[in-house]
Amino acid sequence: MDSQNLKQRRVADEPSPDTNTSATTMNKNNYRSKRDMAKRGLRSLAVAISLPVALHLLTLYLGSTDSYRTSSKPFWFPPLWALRLTCLASSFLMGLSAWLVWAEGGFHKNPVALPVYLAQLVLGLLWDPIVFGAGAPWVGMVVCMGMFAALVGCSKVFQDVNPTAGDLIKPCLAWVAFLAVVNLKLVYL
């Protein structure tokens, strides 16, 4: 069969890619333009970052802080606003790192990546209400250790997919290690 006589099938409602009347710009191969793909990428980046940060803000808003404010603390303890701001920054970095892995297709290539990320996210959201809201620093210490283990798992899995995503987790690991020290000191206060 002669390939020059073949015609491309098109959906009846879809305009021809050769005409400039379509709402979205299409190229010859019927793919969206780079501009439309960039818009979709920015939207997915916004969702990937804002969702964990918004969830973390919600848990901070609903949590109680009376036990931290009234307890006697060593001089090196961060103020509560700095502690929570750094936790939000950690959520931001983890969202960005997860988006970089998702953009590379890492959640599909490695089925362990998504559960490890979600475990880290859930444990990060639980730590503040457990330690400050419920006043249970021993349980918070267990949650903190689980969060550290999940971050190590994320670091290994994300590093294989995208080295930048793996490097973004390193400050989060340092922060969780510091949280573990703070949490341990809260246990003995």
Instruction: Report residue 80 as tokens.
Output: 């509560």
Residue 160 has what pLDDT?
Answer: 92
More confidently predicted of 108 and 122: 122
Which residue's entry shows tokens 């971050």?
151
Instruction: Report residue 153: phi and psi, to 5°.
Output: -65, -45
Average pLDDT of span 122-147: 90
**Residue 150 is assigned to a structural domain of this protein:** yes
Count structural domains, the chain.
1
**Residue 41 is assigned to a structural domain of this protein:** no
DSSP code of residue 18: T
DSSP code of residue 131: I
Buried b (16+ CB within 10 A) or exposed e, 54-79: ebbeebbeeeeeebbeeeeeeeebee
Q: Is the pLDDT of residue 70 over 50?
A: yes
Residue 90 has what pLDDT?
Answer: 95
Q: Is the pLDDT of residue 64 over 80?
A: no
**Residue 87 is assigned to a structural domain of this protein:** yes
Contact 128, 63 (CB under 8 A): yes
Phi-psi category of residue 64: left, alpha or beta, with phi > 0 → left and psi -120 to 50 → alpha: beta
Query: How far is Cα of residue 155 from the mean position of the Cα atoms in its chain?
Result: 12
**Residue 37 is assigned to a structural domain of this protein:** no
Q: Is the pLDDT of residue 49 over 60?
A: yes
Residue 42 has what pLDDT?
Answer: 85
**Residue 17 is assigned to a structural domain of this protein:** no
**Residue 33 is assigned to a structural domain of this protein:** no
Instruction: Report residue 37 as tokens.
Output: 């793909």
More confidently predicted of 133 and 15: 133
Sign for the pseudo-dihedral over CA of 33, 36, 37, 38:
positive
- pTM here is 0.75
Span of 10-19, 145-154, 158-167 with lowest mean pLDDT: 10-19
Closest to 139 in 3D by CA, of 147, 127, 149: 127
**Residue 28 is assigned to a structural domain of this protein:** no
More confidently predicted of 152 and 75: 152
Average pLDDT of span 35-62: 85
Domain with 144, as residue range(s), is 46-187
**Residue 36 is assigned to a structural domain of this protein:** no
Cβ count within 10 A of residue 147: 27
Residue 53 has what pLDDT?
Answer: 94
Instruction: Report residue 74 as tokens.
Output: 């060593």
pLDDT tens column, 74-103? 778 888 888 889 999 999 999 999 999 999
